[in-house]
Structure 1
């Protein structure tokens, strides 16, 4: 039986450093973005205390949500992997699963892209992803996915303030379902 590492024992920076070299451009971009997403996620979670979100899990999972980016091609942020950038979520899940972490962490990675990606989106757009739903399910997944949309990893846009309406507009360009899903979260989370 596989033993999982649960979040009480986990150090997200130590996990990131298994795959990223401290001091490199990519490490700095990833850690800075992850810290910002973690803080935004905690801000959202604090406003939803009545729903009892797992704050410790959110803090750590938000730090790890983009761990798979180095395996993808995104030269603007220093990623020179082989896969298209859209693959970073499921690749992050695979990394964390292979390391033996509780599956909930990998699901955050896999389900945070866009406002989640449905199997129908994958098939109809011929996306290079496993054909399964990758849409946030748990409250914690939804919080981290929503928080992620408020900050860009791209250094050209990292300091830019992103509004909820801008996020909805951008997600609408991907697909109506993405914009509608995020709109529901924005209303529920009072973003």
Structure 2
């Protein structure tokens, strides 16, 4: 049985058409990149159906955050979009998809990073663990939600520079994913 991703997204974004447009464009790019990566590591037997679904849903929680530039007028800080999305997908009965939501921020976050930076996130590790979680996290780094560049893939050099801005650990985790997938 195939998951009806469009129905889930539309149920949660009914009053946010601008946000839905941004989410769909971004998520389609991430899904395409993630599936391309998955094919490169086919010998590891990634679940392609799950990757396609979870990549489309990974940012579902952004609707409840304050990011007016992309049509989101919720109250939560944007960094919470992953954990909010996880809560939403748990209510939909999708625990695996929920894990992708909460573990795709940056190259994943350790409890120590969350605590040290005083981030408004649960004080626990939120790093991708499964192959599918890592593939989607990795693919997500190549696309922004900037409406002007939604479908423009960033170069590896640009992604690495952006990751480095968040510290050596973020860059090291991203580079570890890159060495596995490229």
Q: Over residues 10-56 of structure 1, what are the superposed CA-to-partner deviations in whole Å (9 max), with x where a residue is unaligned?
A: 11111101101288211111011111111110000000000000000
Moved over 6 A (4+): none
Query: Structure 2: where are the runs of 5+ without partners?
Result: none
Query: Structure 1: where are the runs of 5+ without partners?
Result: 1-7
Matches for 1:71-150 after TM superposition, within 5 Å: 71-101=64-94, 103-150=95-142
Query: What is the aligned length?
Result: 182
Matches for 1:2-13 after TM superposition, within 5 Å: 8-13=1-6
C-alpha displacement at 1:76, in angstroms? 1.0
Q: 2:61 aligns with which of 52, 68, 78?
A: 68
Q: Helix, strand or coil: the match of 1:83?
A: coil
Q: Helix, strand or coil: the match of 1:174?
A: coil
Q: Does 1:33 align with 2:26?
A: yes
Q: Helix, strand or coil: the match of 2:138?
A: helix
Separation in 1 of the partners of 2:179 and 2:21?
A: 32
Per the normalisation by structure 1, the TM-score is 0.92
Q: 2:12 aligns with which of 8, 15, 19?
A: 19
Q: Does 1:43 align with 2:32?
A: no
RMSD of aligned C-alpha atoms? 1.3
Moved more, 14-23 or 121-130: 14-23
Per the normalisation by structure 2, the TM-score is 0.96
